[in-house]
Structure 1
Amino acid sequence: MSNLSRRTFNTLLGGASMMSLAVPNIAFGAKPKAVIIGGGAGGATAARYIAKDSNGEIEVTLVEPNKRYYTCFFSNLYLGGLRDFASLGHGYDRLVTQHGINVIHDWAIGVDGAAKTVTLGSGVTLPYDRLVLSPGIDMKYDSLPGYSIAAQSRAPHGWKSGTQVQIIKAQVEGLRQGGTFIMVPPPDPFRCPPGPYERVSMIAHILKQINPSARIIILDTKPKFSKQGLFAEGWEIHYPGMIEWIGPDIHGGILNVNTDEMSVETDFDTFKADAMSIIPAQKAGAIAMRAGVTDGDWAPIVPATMQAKADDNIYVLGDASAASEMPKSGFSANSQAKVAANHVRAELTGSRLFEPRFVNTCWSLIAPDDGVKVGARYTAGTDKIESVESFISQPDESADMRRATYLESESWYAAMTDDLFG
């Protein structure tokens, strides 16, 4: 499949059978208020679907500090020279003009669940009847000895929306001839499971053209990773001898990251680099922690609604949620947001409630026109979101099949960003 129509895209993410909900007690004449924090794949989708399907019955406010959102998904294609950086950026104008959403560019710094209010960095307080949190991730910098907020300027993770990926690209293009690039991927669970290995593939694609004697060393914190066989096969075909993956059973663990000396010390050896990308362990964005809906690093949710188990007036989407078998991806967040939006509308207006259904696909590009994918459909179990059907690309697929997979991913990106931003 090389194209996804808008109708097909929405059908994948929709629900079916109806249930009924009682309308809450809201002051006569006042619209119920839904506040959404975070304007990425989960938050933008939730805001748009609550607004457009409630026909103006709900006052929707989206809080997002950035005026332009740069997608983490597909940032690897920018690294590989297959996209420009501007193509990753998306604004919020259509959410305002077409859907009547109040978009506030500010930081949410506090949540009072008892009073049902959100405090912004500007000092403004927003009341809500339902709150949707989709803050993405924060980094656990101390999960890797020697790594820190300061160290990321020399060894960027590039794992959040923004400009760090541009630093990585500059490092790759400026790497000395025959130099070494080191990547340390994060432990599970983390945003976008195949992401680091697609990133390595795209870096190798550029180096093959401008610096063919360069080396890439992956010092992994995990003994295995998603689509490992497919990546290993692709690296051998496209970049023979350039990429070396070293798992913890060989290196024995990361003992120290030294960005002054550009080295990574392990139990096995100290690896010297000319450039590095270090991706530490991750946790839910800070506002989820401040809202009191997390249990450890992530926010447990009710599978059928995406409500936080700690507060049924709050929903947690995407990377910040503990969504069981669903990976932390943009597609997952978009799918979860539609389930949450339907429940918010039902609770606040008495509209129809559909049976929750979830879907995800993660595409990865190993080389131009060599795309692979993994995905599943999910249902809401009693205790967790459960996979009911899965698929994965197979080894030795034809060139036509791999090109079709890549084209499918491009069509998905266009449909997804249109679905998010209107």
Structure 2
Amino acid sequence: MTLNRRIFLGSAAAMAGTLAAPAVFADGHKKPRVVVIGGGAGGATAARYLAKDSKGALDVTLIEPSRDYYTCFFSNLVIGGIKELSSIRHSYGTLAAEYGVNVVHDWAVEVDRSAKMISLAGGAKLAYDKLVIAPGIDFVDGAVEGWDVSAQNKMPHAYKAGSQTELLRAQILAMPQGGVFAMVAPPNPYRCPPGPYERISMVAHLLKQTNPTAKILIADPKSKFSKMALFQEGWGTHYDGMVDWVGPDFGGDKVSVNPDTMMLTIDGEENKVDVCNVIPAMKAGRIAQIAGVTEGNWAPVHAKDMSSKIDGDIYVLGDAAAQGDMPKSGFAANSQAKVCAMAIRGALLGSKVFPAKFSNTCWSLIDTNDGVKVGASYKATDDKIAKVDGFISQTGESSATRAQNFKESEGWYAGITKDMFG
């Protein structure tokens, strides 16, 4: 299956739709107001589609503290030296200039659901009729003994791309010859299920060139992981003897770290390491918790439109949402955003709302031109977003197939970032 940017330029398939009744506003404002918090794959896509498809009938505001957005997808390729950091950096200028989105670079710090009012760190307040929350992930406090965000410069997580990506790559390049790179992998569920293992592949790719006697140690609380057979085949083919994966049967779920001494302890056994990439357990970005739309670590939503099960005027997208079978990925967030934007336009403007359909594909690079993929299509049920069918690369595939997979992923990246930012 070949994907390119055209896959992102439509919304739902041409199916029979329903015509929603437009909302009525009692306080006299001229346009329905939609505020989107978070400018990633979910939030930026939602803001763009809301503005574009409403043709100016909606007042759309995007709240995002960062002026430049670095995609987590493809950030592992920056660590491996396949891509430059500048290639994953994007701005919000086109959303503002061409689509009329009011882009506000600030932090949302409070959501008053009864008053439908958002407070910003800079002191401003924004009213909304519908609110989209797409804040990505935060980390669970105490998830890895000995680590918290104050230690992220000594032991980077690099699961929010940008400066952490640069830092981790610099630490790897500064390793002594024959040194040890360690990763503490996260428990399920987390952002981008194949991500840690693509990262291991890209670290190995870099070390093979710069530090070929170095070793890689993975402490993993999971007994299996996404594309496990494909990654392990690739590590054996390209990086034989370099990667040591320690699962829960051997203590991978009993881990602590000491950032000051650069020590990783696995089931009581101390390991001196030179670089330690700690990827803790994750939860919905903090503003979702502040807004009161989370249950436990994630925000439950209705599959048909991504609306919160706690507040029907709030929608939660992407990594933060507890929605069912879809993985937490950029592709998934982008797909959910289009369904959400269509539903909001229907609720506020009375436009047609088509049945929700979703899709996802995750590509991973193991070595130069050795790409693998996994994906599925999904539908909305009363209970959740449910998987309909899926596919995955197979072990033993030809080099031509793997090279085509990588080429396909580059086309997808160009397409999705165009779809997000215009």
What's the TM-score, normalizing by structure 2? 0.98
Aligned 8 A contact 1:345 1:351 in 2: yes
CA 1:388–1:140 in structure 2 vs 1: closer, same or farther (change >3 Å)?
Answer: same
C-alpha distance in structure 2 between counterparts of 1:2 and 1:355, whole Å: 25
**Which secondary structure does the structure 2 equivalent of 1:143 belong to?**
coil
- Residue matched to 1:351: 351
- Residue matched to 1:26: 25
CA 1:99–1:111 in structure 2 vs 1: closer, same or farther (change >3 Å)?
Answer: same
- Residue matched to 2:73: 73
C-alpha distance in structure 1 between counterparts of 2:377 and 2:366, whole Å: 24
- Residue matched to 1:43: 43
- Residue matched to 2:159: 159
* Pairing 1:182-261 to 2, within 5 Å after superposition: 182-251=182-251, 253-261=253-261
Q: Per-residue displacement from partner, 1:265-286 (whole Å, max 9, x unpaired)?
A: 1225222201110010000001
Q: Which amino acid aligns with 1:353?
A: V
C-alpha distance in structure 2 between counterparts of 1:300 and 1:78, whole Å: 33
C-alpha distance in structure 2 between counterparts of 1:252 and 1:241, whole Å: 19
1:264 Cα offset (Å): 1.3
C-alpha distance in structure 2 between counterparts of 1:393 and 1:189, whole Å: 22
CA 1:13–1:367 in structure 2 vs 1: closer, same or farther (change >3 Å)?
Answer: farther
1:373 Cα offset (Å): 0.4
Aligned 8 A contact 1:307 1:315 in 2: yes
1:19 Cα offset (Å): 1.0
Q: Which runs of 4+ in 1 moved over 6 A?
A: none
Q: Per-residue displacement from partner, 1:124-145 (whole Å, max 9, x unpaired)?
A: 1100000000000001141111
Q: Per-residue displacement from partner, 1:354-393 (whole Å, max 9, x unpaired)?
A: 1100000000000010000001000001101000010000
- Residue matched to 2:53: 53
* Pairing 1:399-414 to 2, within 5 Å after superposition: 399-414=399-414
Deviates most, 252-261 or 353-362: 252-261
C-alpha distance in structure 2 between counterparts of 1:114 and 1:274, whole Å: 51
C-alpha distance in structure 2 between counterparts of 1:253 and 1:269, whole Å: 13
- Residue matched to 1:176: 176
Deviates most, 247-256 or 149-158: 247-256
C-alpha distance in structure 2 between counterparts of 1:53 and 1:44, whole Å: 14
Pairwise CA RMSD = 1.3
- Residue matched to 2:136: 136
C-alpha distance in structure 1 between counterparts of 2:378 and 2:361, whole Å: 11
**Which secondary structure does the structure 2 equivalent of 1:402 belong to?**
helix
C-alpha distance in structure 2 between counterparts of 1:15 and 1:147, whole Å: 49
Residue ranges of structure 1 left out of the alignment (5+ in a row): none
The answer as to 2:102 corresponding to 1:106 is no
C-alpha distance in structure 1 between counterparts of 2:11 and 2:225, whole Å: 27
**Which secondary structure does the structure 1 equivalent of 2:109 belong to?**
strand
C-alpha distance in structure 2 between counterparts of 1:107 and 1:161, whole Å: 18
Provide the identity percentage: 52
- Residue matched to 2:9: 10
Q: Which amino acid aligns with 1:157?
A: H
1:150 Cα offset (Å): 1.6
CA 1:70–1:15 in structure 2 vs 1: closer, same or farther (change >3 Å)?
Answer: farther
Q: Which amino acid aligns with 2:311?
A: D
Q: Which amino acid aligns with 2:227?
A: K
C-alpha distance in structure 1 between counterparts of 2:8 and 2:417, whole Å: 12
- Residue matched to 1:88: 88
Aligned 8 A contact 2:5 2:414 in 1: no
1:16 Cα offset (Å): 2.9
The answer as to 2:127 corresponding to 1:127 is yes
Aligned 8 A contact 1:65 1:106 in 2: yes
Residue ranges of structure 2 left out of the alignment (5+ in a row): none
**Which secondary structure does the structure 2 equivalent of 1:224 belong to?**
coil
Q: Which amino acid aligns with 1:16?
A: M
Aligned 8 A contact 2:12 2:355 in 1: no
1:253 Cα offset (Å): 2.8
Q: Which amino acid aligns with 1:10?
A: L
C-alpha distance in structure 2 between counterparts of 1:380 and 1:308, whole Å: 14
Aligned 8 A contact 1:2 1:407 in 2: no
C-alpha distance in structure 2 between counterparts of 1:252 and 1:170, whole Å: 26
- Residue matched to 1:290: 290
C-alpha distance in structure 2 between counterparts of 1:412 and 1:32, whole Å: 33
Aligned 8 A contact 1:65 1:104 in 2: yes
Aligned 8 A contact 2:111 2:291 in 1: yes
Deviates most, 31-40 or 142-151: 142-151
C-alpha distance in structure 1 between counterparts of 2:94 and 2:267, whole Å: 53
1:255 Cα offset (Å): 3.8
The answer as to 2:385 corresponding to 1:395 is no
Tell me how many residue pairs correspond in the alignment: 421
C-alpha distance in structure 2 between counterparts of 1:11 and 1:369, whole Å: 29
Q: Per-residue displacement from partner, 1:336-360 (whole Å, max 9, x unpaired)?
A: 0000000000000001101100000
C-alpha distance in structure 2 between counterparts of 1:129 and 1:60, whole Å: 10
Deviates most, 179-188 or 22-31: 22-31
C-alpha distance in structure 2 between counterparts of 1:256 and 1:65, whole Å: 33
1:221 Cα offset (Å): 1.4
**Which secondary structure does the structure 1 equivalent of 2:312 belong to?**
strand
